[in-house]
Amino acid sequence: MSYAIGIDIGGTKTAIGLVNEQGQISAKVTIPTDPAISPSEMVVRIADSAKSLIQDSGVKAEQISGIGIGAPGPLDTAQGRIACPPNLPAWRNFPIVDELAKHFSYPIRFENDATAATLAEKWIGAAQDAEHFVFITISTGIGAGIYMHGKLITGASGNAGDVGHLVIDPTAGHCVCGQDGCWEYIASGTAIARQASELLDREVTTKEAFDLAAQGEPAIRELVDRVFRYIGIGCVTLINTLDPQKLVIGGGVSQVGDPLFQAVRAYVVEHALNPSGRSTPIIPAALQQDAGLIGAAALVHIRY
Ligand code: ADP
Ligand code: ZN
């Protein structure tokens, strides 16, 4: 059995795991992504954690075929750098691949976290049968990965799929990227909580907003319907642009389930341009919690 070390770096926590060639996690540990220490020190912690995992698991060094890293973008994968992550300001231009290579001699693969999760859905998830699909994650932000003609489409610098900054409604307010009315500014989990809190003049979580909408709270219901329409609009753009066989939607917000999927399917049936696009299956991701970790390992285990 061969193993990969998967490393999923997030804004608040970093997961490190040993994942076998069937996509099963044999061992895993999660450590905080500590903003108080330098990224090089953080890499030392990651490397130490990975070494302990290997030691405790009894996996031999020669059974490990490589290290896969998934990290939040923007990145420069050609240079092995994290470029300018909004949630990790200290990591600007950080050469993560070279730093990690100081600790290990295994080959290192490195991609955007949504891209890695896309590969995981192809490998053992909801898109195993698809040669052309888009994975969309609706979570704190919105991101996507594109898999077309049997290949992962990463772009020149590893940033393909940054669909969270498609402009959907330019009248909707100012996004961190400098544009107005980006998809994630109006339809991410963060966006739902922000707008629901404004409407009710108190702190409302995304989950609570969905619950209130289901109970028929009129203002929140209108908000949630609008958000679902925005998600539909983004999906139509992706279908019209890329002609996928299916769309796979994951991320925390997708856990609301049927109401979201039904609304998005209804929008797509009506608005995708070509008849085959209108019937594009829109399905939930199969991997939730560990998608990033399995995706990072997939970068090592499968050709993409
Ligand atoms: P991350 O962005 O760190 O990858 P998640 O994919 O868990 O994290 O997404 C977090 C977002 O999903 C938050 O906005 C959170 O409120 C929302 N969320 C988490 N669980 C649910 C749920 N069961 N229903 C609706 N929204 C959820
Ligand atoms: Zn934006």
Contact of 123 with 298, CB cutoff 8 Å:
yes
Domain 128-285 has CATH 3.30.420.40: yes
Measured by CA distance, the residue closest to atom 16 of ligand 1 is 206
Cα(254) to centroid of ligand 1, in Å?
A: 8
Provide mean pLDDT across the span 258-265.
Answer: 98
Average pLDDT, stretch 265-280?
A: 97
The closest alpha carbon to 121, from 147, 96, 142, belongs to: 147
Residue to probe by mutation, ligand 1, list 30, 113, 253, 258, most atoms within 8 Å of CB: 253
289, pLDDT greater than 90: no
**Does the pTM of the predicted model rise above 0.85?**
yes
Distance, in Å, from the CA atom of 114 to the CA atom of 71, rounded to the nearest integer, reads: 8
Q: Which residues contact 88 (CB under 8 A, 6 or more apart)?
A: 9, 11, 33, 35, 39, 72, 82
Task: Among 13, 139, 142, 194, say which to mutate for ligand 1: greatest number of ligand atoms within 8 Å of CB.
Answer: 139
Tokens standing for residue 133 = 């699909």
Spatial separation of the C-alpha atoms in residues 53 and 16, rounded to whole Å: 9
Interval 158-214: pLDDT, tens? 999 999 999 999 999 999 999 999 999 999 999 999 999 999 999 999 999 999 999
Q: Which tens digit of pLDDT belongs to each residue from 16-47? A: 999 999 999 999 999 999 989 999 999 999 99
Whether residue 291 has pLDDT greater than 90: yes
pLDDT of 85 over the 90 cut: no
> Residue 148: its pLDDT value, please?
98
Ligand 1 centroid–CA 252 distance in Å is: 3
For ligand 1, pick from 87, 136, 185, 206 the residue to mutate: most ligand atoms within 8 Å of CB. 206
pLDDT of amino acid 37: 93
Can you tell me which atom of ligand 1 is nearest the CA of 250?
Answer: 6
pLDDT of 125 > 90? The answer is: yes
- Measured CA to CA in angstroms, residue 294 lies from 244, 261, 272 at distances of 23, 24, 32
Q: State the distance from the centre of ligand 2 to the C-alpha of 250, rounded, in angstroms.
A: 20
The Cβ of residue 267 has, within 10 Å, a number of other Cβ atoms equal to 20
Which tokens sit at 173? 């307010």
CA–CA separation, 223 vs 261, rounded Å? 16
Atom of ligand 1 nearest to the CA of 190: 14
Which residues form ligand 1's pocket by a CB distance below 6 Å?
A: 10, 139-140, 189-190, 205-207, 210, 251-253, 255-256
Distance CA 4, CA 294 (A): 9
State which CATH number among 3.30.420.40, 1.20.910.10, 3.40.50.2300, 3.90.550.10 fits the domain covering 3-118+290-301: 3.30.420.40
Q: Whose CA is nearest to atom 23 of ligand 1?
A: 255
| Mean pLDDT of the region 148-159 | 97
The two three-digit tokens of residue 273, written as one number = 């341009």
pLDDT at 146: 98
CB 272 within 8 A of CB 280: yes
Average per-residue pLDDT for the chain:
96
Whole-Å CA distances, 125 to 46, 162, 234, 248, 285: 27, 21, 22, 10, 7
Ligand 2 mean position to 168 CA, how many Å? 10
Residue pointed to by tokens 């991101």: 143
Amino acid of residue 52:
S
User: What stretch(es) of the chain map to CATH 3.30.420.40?
Assistant: 3-118+290-301, 128-285
Q: Which ligand is nearest to the CA of 167?
A: 2
